[in-house]
Structures are given as C-alpha cells and as structure tokens.
Structure 1
Amino acid sequence: MKIGILQAGHAPDELRADRGDFNALFETLLAGHGFDFTTWDVVDMSFPASATLCDGWLITGSKHGAYEDHPFIAPLENMIRDIYAAKVPLVGICFGHQIIAQALGGKVEKFAQGWAVGRQSYDWQGETVALNAWHQDQVVSRPAGATVMASNRFCENAALIYEDRAFTVQPHPEFDADFVDGLARCRGPGNVPVAQLAAAKERLAIPVDNSRLANNIAQFFKTRTVS
C-alpha cells in the first residue's frame, strides 16, 4: 500500500542530522505495517499531480499556522478537498489535523490559553491515552461531518474522525521523548514559557501510547475505521 506523505514543515536542523525529517519519523512510526512511502515537500511547493496517486495520504506537522499567509497553504487546502472528494484515506497530525479541519470548513486559531508541550493525557472514547504534544494552535470549530474521538480539558478537538474519509490527531504519535527534549532545546526558548518546558522535561521518562496510535493510523489506511 502506497502512502503519500505531504510534508508541511521541516524538523529543526539540529535534530535532522540524527533523526531525519518529519517524514522519517512517520516512516519509523508506521514500520512493519506493509506501507511504501513517497514524500512531497508541500511546504516547499512540491505537490503530487493527483489526489489518487497514492492509496492513502498523511499530512505532517509544521511550525507554520494553518491560518497564516504562506504560498503552500491554499494549494494544500485544495489538495485536501480533492483527496476528500476522491475518498482516498487521509490522516493529519498536528498542523495536518488543523489544515484538514480548516480546508473542510472548520476554524483554527492561536489558542488563548497557550501551549500544550510534552506528555498529555486524553480521553479517547472512555480510555486514557497519553501522547506527546507540541502546539499552541488548535481546532476551535469542527467542520460538518467531523466527530470527536479524543479530547481533554485543554484541547476539545484532540482527535477527529470524518466518517471513512479522514482521521486526524492534534498531538504527535511520531514524537518520542528524545525528540521532545530536542524541540524543547531548539524551538522552546523564547516561544514556550520556561515553566512549561521544565514540566515537559520532567515527564520525558513517563511512557506514551505511540504504538497504539501507529496501529490506529495503519488500521484507518487499511480499513477506513479506527477502534
């Protein structure tokens, strides 16, 4: 099964040398599920020719805001709508979660209550699921057809399912403790409050449920369902 990764941003240079870019993190996360991957750097204006070129699509995170005026935003929104109309399974993570919601009629904004950084717990349809987060923006109004799968007190729309067409998640199942630690060093200072960075570092050793989300994403690509 061919999965197209639409890379909407790049990992910090300081982390890329050892860990690779965001597409490499997803290839590692989804290893063993039988997928072949091709990446388009949409943030650099490299787009696939067709919404049906792959069997499934995944939009990565980004340091950019979905509501900001960047050249790649409008064509990416058009691509999302084409994928959605063609009923090719679509997955979005963090920025991907946000831009899919925005493209389909939802609203994304810089959240007035600030940042979510590091390990966070979510109510996932009655179960507690822990994942690493790194965001200030979030979906504040869902599009028609989107149903909440996970939330917490800080982030109401932490995971959304759009029937059998799209599955999106605000936190980062592709981020492990080392990557969060690296982000705290490279992108945290001057952006995230010092106390929040310190708290995130204190939680680095506590396990998260990345493997569960990997299974959820793989299941959605293969069966268009999430359990």
Structure 2
Amino acid sequence: MAPSISSEIRSSGKKLRLAILETDPDYVTACGTFTDLFKRLFTTCTTEAEEPAEEVILDIETFNVVKGLYPEPEEFDGILLTGSRANAFDSDPWILKLVEYIKRVHDGSSTRLVGVCFGHQIISRALGGIVEENSKGWEVSVTKMRLDKDGLGAKLFPEAAVDGVLRLQQMHRDHVTAPPPGMHILAASEMSHVQGLYEEGKVLTLQGHPEFNDEVVRGSVENLIARGMLGEADGKNALDRAAIPNHGTDVGKAVVRFLSGVFD
C-alpha cells in the first residue's frame, strides 16, 4: 500500500473509511497540515455528536496526490480533497491526473466525494464546471453566504437555516464561475456565487474552510499582506473578522452525515 497517515476518530456508531487527498502536503499552518486540521474538526464533530448519523468511527488515511499516491475508491466510503495553493485550472501533470481520477471515482464507483476550497474547485473542473481567477480579488476570513432558495442548503446545514446565512472562514482567489451540469448550488456570497455544490449520494463541496480556525486565518492573512497580495485596509478588515463565530463545526457534522448517507 502507498505510504500514508492513518488514524481512527472514535465515537459509538458505525465505521466509515475516509481517504484524505492532500493537494498541498507542504502547506503547514500554525495548527498543522490540512490533514491535521480535518482530523481535529472531525474529532470535534463525532465526540460532540447530536444525532445518530454523527456517531461514527472515522478511519482516516491520507494520500499525497502531488506525488502520485492514490487510494482505490472501492476501499473507502468517502474521499475528501483538501485546499491547496495550486490553481485548479492549471495543467500540471499531477493536476491533470487528479482530474481524471475524480472522473473515475464519480462515474465508476459508489464512493462519495467531498471537496474543500481547491477540492471544491478541482471537483467542479473534473465534472464539467469552470474555474477562474476572481477579478474582484481575494475572499478571506469569516464570510456570509446566502443559502439557496430551494431549501437544500437549509437541510444540509440546519444551524445556518435560522437566518438563511452560512458563515465560514475563506481563503481563496480562484473560484467556480460555472457549476458542473446537474449540480445544485448550495450557497452564494457577494464575491463568489458558487460557494458549495451537491449531488445526492455523490458530491458535497464547499468553497469555504470549515477546518480553519481564527489562528490559521490570521497567519494566512498576515502572510498575504506581507507578500503584497492583500492591501493593508482589506487585510485589517479580514483580521477583524477572523474570530467571528461561524458554522465550521456544523459543516463538519454535515460532512459526516453526508458520508453516512442520511441525506439520500
């Protein structure tokens, strides 16, 4: 088997196998890698479970897809694609290979796909959507997103349905400008109108980062300011919003419920 990082997040319910595809394994935040952040999120979600669908054992295995390491889809209940500093519309060999892999998983297996930020974008590209650089600039820190009017977003994220607004940490310049055919758009912000996608039993994606906390976001924003990629005024505004309460944990629970099949 390919080299990987494996762990079990335990609660009292059924066991689910989750493969995390690291699309930027060299990216290390103040709180660890993307895998570390997702493990922390799912530990919180399963130990604080509020319904049986969240009471699962998540057996997590990590694969470095930049180095060409991939899981066999049939061996996992779900595959989660992380964020990345790479551009989902580029033609690097590892990105093209990832696009083909996503198509194979989606069209030829029952394994569920979850994408976050870059993961959201690359799944969109692979399944026929369009990803571009946002001419409006960076969307960073806690951001308000209006849930779709059809009620599916409210079903997936009931905690956000109270006022119809989903709040998540953001950290991206690229965005999905056209969703794949047949995909349901879950939410929209002022800067990016495709903030999440859903296909029953197959796909759940979010442009925002449910796994990010304010410490991670502050570090990333300060780095953008230092590199001249974010202006001082916009940077200060983002830093001021970093600690605003958001639905990160609630979205994490929704991912667990999606993997458990309760929305089908």
TM-score after normalising by structure 2 = 0.80
Q: 1:96: which partner in 2?
A: 119
The Cα RMSD (Å) is 1.6
Q: How has the CA–CA distance of structure 1 residues 12 and 81 changed in structure 2, closer, same or farther, with 3 Å as cutoff?
A: closer
Q: 1:198: which partner in 2?
A: 236
Q: 2:12: which partner in 1?
A: none
Q: 1:56: which partner in 2?
A: 78
* 1:177 aligned onto 2:214: yes
For each residue in 1:141-167, what CA deviation from the matched residue of structure 2 results, as whole angstroms up to 9, or x when unmatched? 111121111112211100110232000
Q: 2:159: which partner in 1?
A: none
Q: 1:19: which partner in 2?
A: 31
Q: Which runs of 4+ in 1 moved over 4 A?
A: none
Q: 1:36: which partner in 2?
A: 59
* 1:6 aligned onto 2:44: no
Matches within 5 A, 1:72-111: 72-85=94-107, 86-111=109-134
Q: How has the CA–CA distance of structure 1 residues 209 and 157 changed in structure 2, closer, same or farther, with 3 Å as cutoff?
A: same
Name the larger-Rg structure: 2
Q: Quick one: percent identity of the two aligned structures? A: 30
| 1:116 Cα deviation after fit | 0.3
User: 8 Å contact 1:7–1:41 — kept in the other structure?
Assistant: yes
For each residue in 1:88-130, what CA deviation from the matched residue of structure 2 results, as whole angstroms up to 9, or x when unmatched? 1110000000000000111000011111010100112461111
- Could you tell me which runs of 5 or more consecutive residues in structure 1 were left unpaired when the two chains were aligned: none
Measure, in 2, the Cα distance between the counterparts of 1:24 and 1:7. Answer: 11
Name the amino acid aligned to 1:39.
T
Measure, in 1, the Cα distance between the counterparts of 2:235 and 2:190. Answer: 19
User: 8 Å contact 1:117–1:196 — kept in the other structure?
Assistant: no
Measure, in 2, the Cα distance between the counterparts of 1:110 and 1:36. Answer: 35
Measure, in 2, the Cα distance between the counterparts of 1:174 and 1:82. Answer: 27
Q: How has the CA–CA distance of structure 1 residues 188 and 162 changed in structure 2, closer, same or farther, with 3 Å as cutoff?
A: farther
For each residue in 1:44-91, what CA deviation from the matched residue of structure 2 results, as whole angstroms up to 9, or x when unmatched? 32222x221211110000000011132211111111111112131110
Q: How has the CA–CA distance of structure 1 residues 212 and 153 changed in structure 2, closer, same or farther, with 3 Å as cutoff?
A: same
User: 8 Å contact 2:168–2:248 — kept in the other structure?
Assistant: yes
Name the amino acid aligned to 2:21.
L
Name the amino acid aligned to 2:18.
I
SS of match in other structure, 1:161: strand
| 1:137 Cα deviation after fit | 0.3
Measure, in 2, the Cα distance between the counterparts of 1:124 and 1:149. Answer: 6
Question: How many aligned positions are there?
Answer: 222
Name the amino acid aligned to 2:67.
D
